[in-house]
Amino acid sequence: MKLLVTGGLGYIGSVVTHRLLDAGHEVEILDDLSTGHLDVLPDGVRLHQHDIHDVDQVLTRHAGFDGVLHLAGLISAGESVHHPDRYWDVNVTGSLRLLAAMRDASVPRLIFSSTGSMYAPKGMDTLTETDPIAPPGPYATTKYVTDLAITDHARAFGIAAASLRYFNAAGAAGRLGERHDPETHLIPLALHAAATGGTTRIFGEDYPTPDGTCVRDYIHVEDLATAHLLALQAVQPGRHEIYNLGNGNGYSTKEVLATVEQVTGTTLTIQVDPPRPGDAVVVVASADKAARELGWQPQHPDLTRIIGDAWAFHQHNTLSHPAIQ
């Protein structure tokens, strides 16, 4: 297929792009480089350096795209609380522009990067796609609203669509890994602190969880990439399916930091800060639907492996920054 990956120069998009190329697809990338990195652009892949709002300039009728993998967007739950306008503009308005462009150019397939952080709290139980939605902040709201828009557009315009509700993406794929600036995610921040002797912060330790810190389901970025390939094959015209993507294992922030210490052979300096606004307490997936309907089975569920791959990436990236071939 000829595919457009929006956000293809970002963390997850770069891994997805490489897997699509490996599977024999033709890929072009739309990315405004706001948080992405040019050095992950594979040889021979065409880059359209555009804002997502201008996606219609790329998805023209004569361009002949068979599908779009839509990963471009703003991603920080904490930042979204202070700048909801930006999140609605990029994540919602940008996605609506994409849907209109797909309709106008008759592009038949869409795979969207949604989030597992939109569900109502369910204690320590795993979350299924039919559980009640209660976004904890603007970021998750923008993903939910976009999911609703996709359902309506898929039905009306015959688009074959899937929303992949990632839980916490983590790990690295060789030389492709997480390089956000500023970084807000727990694992890369802790690895950076391990490497530099800096301080790692825990946002809140009085949550109603076994050790008082938040619990998340960390899923290897390689396993997320596999799900995109499977979803592309499975989508049906006029239908929009939603899939949770996680391992079904919840790890607390303190457990993650202990694993970082084990993997890096360091003792972290840890400081406890107040809870971060917009944070959910426990977010753990049931990915039974993805297993049943897509045949998706995570290959790297072990947290030590996930953090080990991120550590290998971090070390390489620090040593030879930014020499990604």
Ligand X SMILES: O=c1ccn([C@@H]2O[C@H](COP(=O)(O)OP(=O)(O)O[C@H]3O[C@H](CO)[C@@H](O)[C@H](O)[C@H]3O)[C@@H](O)[C@H]2O)c(=O)[nH]1
Ligand Y SMILES: NC(=O)c1ccc[n+]([C@@H]2O[C@H](COP(=O)([O-])OP(=O)(O)OC[C@H]3O[C@@H](n4cnc5c(N)ncnc54)[C@H](O)[C@@H]3O)[C@@H](O)[C@H]2O)c1
Sign of CA dihedral 148, 153, 155, 159: negative
β 251-252/215-216 pair status: antiparallel
Comparison of 169 and 189: residue with beta carbon closer to ligand Y:
169
DSSP secondary structure string for all residues of 158-217: T-EEEEEEE-EEE--BTTB----SS---HHHHHHHHHHHT-EEEEE-S-SSSTTSS-EE-
Number of Cβ atoms within 10 Å of the Cβ of 238: 13
Evaluate whether 228 touches 112 at the Cβ level (below 8 Å). no
Smallest gap from Cβ 287 to ligand Y, in A, equals: 14
Q: How far is the CB of 170 from ligand Y (least distance, A)?
A: 7
- Picked from ligand Y, ligand X, none, the partner binding residue 71 (CB below 5 to 8 A depending on kind) is ligand Y
Q: Which of 37, 82, 89, 203 binds ligand X (CB under 6 A)?
A: 203
Please tell me whether residue 185 binds ligand X under the rule CB under 6 A: yes
Q: Is 129 in the site for ligand Y (CB under 6 A)?
A: no
Alpha carbons 47 and 29: distance in angstroms, whole number: 5
Choices 29-37, 145-153, 155-163, 302-310 (CB under 6 A): range interacting with ligand Y: 29-37
Q: Which x/- pattern over 64-103 shows residues binding ligand Y (rule: CB under 6 A)?
A: -------xxx-x--------------x---x---------
Residue 67's binding partner among ligand Y, ligand X, none (Cβ under 5 to 8 angstroms by kind) is none
Which is closer to ligand Y, CB of 153 or CB of 179? Answer: 179
Among 4, 17, 18, 36, binds ligand Y (CB under 6 A): 36
The distance in angstroms from the start CA to the end CA of the chain is: 25
Q: Are 324 and 39 in contact (CB under 8 A)?
A: yes
Q: Which residue is catalytic, options 139, 144, 207, 243?
A: 139
| HEC-encoded secondary structure of 229-251 | HHHHHHCCCCCEEEEEECCCCCE
How far apart are CB 99 and ligand Y at their closest, in Å? 15
7 contacts ligand Y (rule: CB under 6 A): yes
Partner whose binding site includes residue 52, from ligand Y, ligand X, none (CB under 5 to 8 Å by kind): ligand Y
In the set 279, 294, 311, 313, which binds ligand X (CB under 6 A)? 279
C-alpha triplet 203, 205, 206: angle, nearest 5°: 125
Regarding 31 and contact with ligand Y (CB under 6 A), the answer is yes
218 flagged as catalytic: no
Which amino acid does the sequence have at 238? G
Shortest CB 30 distance to ligand X, Å: 19
Left if phi > 0, otherwise alpha if psi is -120 to 50, otherwise beta: which for 171? left
Q: Are 49 and 32 in contact (CB under 8 A)?
A: yes
Shortest CB 172 distance to ligand Y, Å: 12
Q: Which residues bind ligand X (CB under 6 A)?
A: 75, 77, 115-117, 166-168, 184-186, 189, 201-203, 214, 216, 253, 276, 279, 283
Catalytic residue IDs: 139
Q: Which residues bind ligand Y (CB under 6 A)?
A: 7, 9-13, 31-36, 51-52, 71-73, 75, 90, 94, 113, 115, 166, 168-169, 180
